C-alpha cells in the first residue's frame, strides 16, 4: 500500500497543481478583460468617474476607481456616495425582518396607522414595497419637480411629499390590481413603519442591518451631509454644470436616504441575495412576483428588479448613477457607480456599464432590460 501511495501521490499533486494554476490563470485573464472593458466604457460613456466592484461568492474579483472626484482629486474605491434607489433593497429586507419579529403585518391594512390617507383601508405594507398600491409618483408632479430644481438644498418632509401624490384624490389604479413604480409608496411605507414600531427608520436600519453586518460605511441620511472621503457628483439639471454632491436628498423620501461605499455594498449584496437575514419563507416573499406584474422574467419585487435571474437596481439622482446586480444562480455580485461630466452623454450610465460587464462575467445570463 505504501508503495502504491508513493507512486500516486506525486501524480495527484501534479494534477492538483495544474488545476489550481489553470484556475488562477483563468481568473487573472477574466480580471484583465474586465479591467480593460471598464476603462473602455469610461471613455465611451464620457463619465467623470466610475467605481466598480465584482465578487464571486466571497472572493473579490476586482475593485476599481477611475477618473476624478474633483479637479485633480482622483476617485477612490473607499469614497462614500449616495446610493439612491439601492436604498429600496435595504428597505425590502428591513420590512421582512420587522414582519418576522411581529412588529408589522405585511397583509394588514395601513389604515391601522394612517387612517387619514387616501385608500388606506385598501392598501397593505406588502403592496407598498412591491409598488402595487396605485399611488401616483410625486416625482412626476410638475410643481414638485420645478421646486426641487429651483431649490436643490430644500428640506422636504414626508407629509409634503405624500401630499403631492394624493392631493388630486386619485390613484393610478385600484390597489393590488397592477404595478407601477412610485417613489411615493416607499415614503408612505416609511411613515407606516415608524408609527407601527415607535422607532425612527434610522434606528431600525442600524439595529437590524447596519450593526449586525458591520456596515460601518453605510448610514441613513435625510440631510445634505456625507462622511469623508466623498465621491463628488455633478449635474446639469439646472441648465449649468455644477457640483450636486451636497444637494439635499430629502426629496427622495424613503426611496433613497442611504449612503454607503463600495466595500459595504459588495458585502450587503450577497447577504441580501442569499436571504441570510431572513427565514426561507420571508425571503421567498421578498423576491416573489406580485400578482399585478405580468412578466415572470422581468418584474419589480420588493424594492428591486428581478431580471432573467438577476436581482438588480439602477438609481440615478443628484448627479449619481448607480447599478446593483446579484445573480444567485452563480453567486456573482456586481456594483457600479458613476458621476456625470459636462458631456450630456454621461448621465445615468452606470447600469449600461454593468450590463456590458455582465456579458463578460455571465454571458449565458445577461440582464434583459
pLDDT recorded at residue 296:
83
For the four alpha carbons of 72, 74, 75 and 81, in that order, the dihedral sign comes to negative
> What is the chain's pLDDT, residue by residue, as a tens digit (369 residues)?
444 444 445 554 444 444 433 444 455 458 999 999 999 999 999 999 999 999 999 999 999 999 999 999 999 999 999 999 999 999 999 999 999 999 999 999 999 999 999 999 999 999 999 999 999 999 999 999 999 999 999 999 999 999 999 999 999 999 999 999 999 999 999 999 999 999 999 999 999 999 999 999 999 998 899 999 999 999 999 999 999 999 999 999 999 999 999 999 999 999 999 999 999 999 999 999 998 777 888 999 999 999 999 999 999 999 999 999 999 999 999 999 999 999 999 999 999 999 999 999 999 999 988
Distance (Å, whole) CA 346 – CA 321: 10
Domain edges within the chain: 47-361
The CATH superfamily label for domain 47-361 reads DD-peptidase/beta-lactamase superfamily (3.40.710.10)
List the helix and strand counts (H, then E) for the chain. Answer: 10, 14
Residue tagged 465621491 (cell numbers): 231
Distance (Å, whole) CA 76 – CA 193: 36
Distance (Å, whole) CA 38 – CA 293: 34
List C-alpha distances in Å: 273 to 133, 328, 330, 342.
25, 6, 11, 36
Q: Is 64 helix (H, G, I), strand (E, B) or coil?
A: strand
- Helix or strand (DSSP H, E) at 5: helix 2-45
What value, to the nearest 5°, has the Cα angle with vertex 29 and ends 25 and 34?
150
Amino acid at each position: 500500500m505504501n508503495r502504491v501511495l508513493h507512486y500516486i501521490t506525486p501524480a495527484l499533486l501534479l494534477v492538483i497543481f495544474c488545476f489550481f494554476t489553470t484556475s488562477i490563470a483563468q481568473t487573472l485573464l477574466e480580471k484583465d478583460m474586465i479591467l480593460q472593458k471598464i476603462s473602455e466604457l469610461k471613455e465611451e460613456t464620457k463619465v467623470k468617474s466610475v467605481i466598480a466592484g465584482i465578487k464571486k461568492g466571497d472572493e473579490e474579483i476586482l475593485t476599481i476607481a477611475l477618473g476624478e472626484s474633483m479637479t485633480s482629486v482622483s476617485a477612490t474605491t473607499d469614497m462614500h456616495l449616495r446610493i439612491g434607489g439601492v436604498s429600496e433593497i435595504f428597505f425590502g429586507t428591513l420590512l421582512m425582518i420587522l414582519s418576522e419579529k411581529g412588529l408589522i403585518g405585511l397583509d394588514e391594512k395601513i389604515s391601522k396607522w394612517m387612517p387619514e390617507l387616501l385608500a388606506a383601508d385598501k392598501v397593505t405594507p406588502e403592496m407598498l414595497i412591491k409598488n402595487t398600491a396605485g399611488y401616483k409618483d410625486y416625482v412626476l408632479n410638475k410643481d414638485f419637480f420645478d421646486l426641487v430644481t429651483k431649490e436643490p438644498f430644500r428640506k422636504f418632509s414626508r407629509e409634503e411629499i405624500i401630499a403631492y401624490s394624493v392631493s388630486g384624490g386619485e390613484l393610478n389604479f385600484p390597489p393590488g390590481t397592477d404595478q407601477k413604480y412610485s417613489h411615493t409608496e416607499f415614503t408612505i411605507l416609511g411613515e407606516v413603519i415608524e408609527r407601527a414600531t415607535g422607532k425612527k427608520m434610522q434606528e431600525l436600519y442600524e439595529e437590524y442591518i447596519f450593526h449586525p453586518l458591520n456596515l460601518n460605511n453605510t448610514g441613513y441620511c435625510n440631510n445634505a451631509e456625507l462622511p469623508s472621503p466623498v465621491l463628488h457628483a455633478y449635474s446639469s439639471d439646472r441648465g449649468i454644470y455644477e457640483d450636486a454632491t451636497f444637494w439635499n436628498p430629502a426629496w427622495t423620501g424613503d426611496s433613497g436616504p442611504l449612503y454607503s461605499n463600495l466595500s459595504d455594498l459588495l458585502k450587503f449584496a450577497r447577504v441580501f441575495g442569499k436571504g441570510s437575514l431572513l427565514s426561507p419563507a420571508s425571503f421567498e416573499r421578498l423576491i416573489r412576483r406580485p400578482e399585478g406584474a405580468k412578466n415572470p422574467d422581468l418584474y419589480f419585487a420588493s424594492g428591486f428588479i428581478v431580471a432573467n435571474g438577476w436581482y438588480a437596481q439602477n438609481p440615478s439622482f443628484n448627479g449619481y448613477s448607480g447599478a446593483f446586480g446579484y445573480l444567485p444562480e452563480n453567486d456573482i455580485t456586481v456594483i457600479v457607480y458613476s458621476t456625470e461630466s459636462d458631456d450630456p452623454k454621461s448621465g445615468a450610465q452606470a447600469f449600461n456599464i454593468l450590463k456590458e460587464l455582465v456579458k463578460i462575467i455571465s454571458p449565458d445570463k445577461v440582464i434583459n432590460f
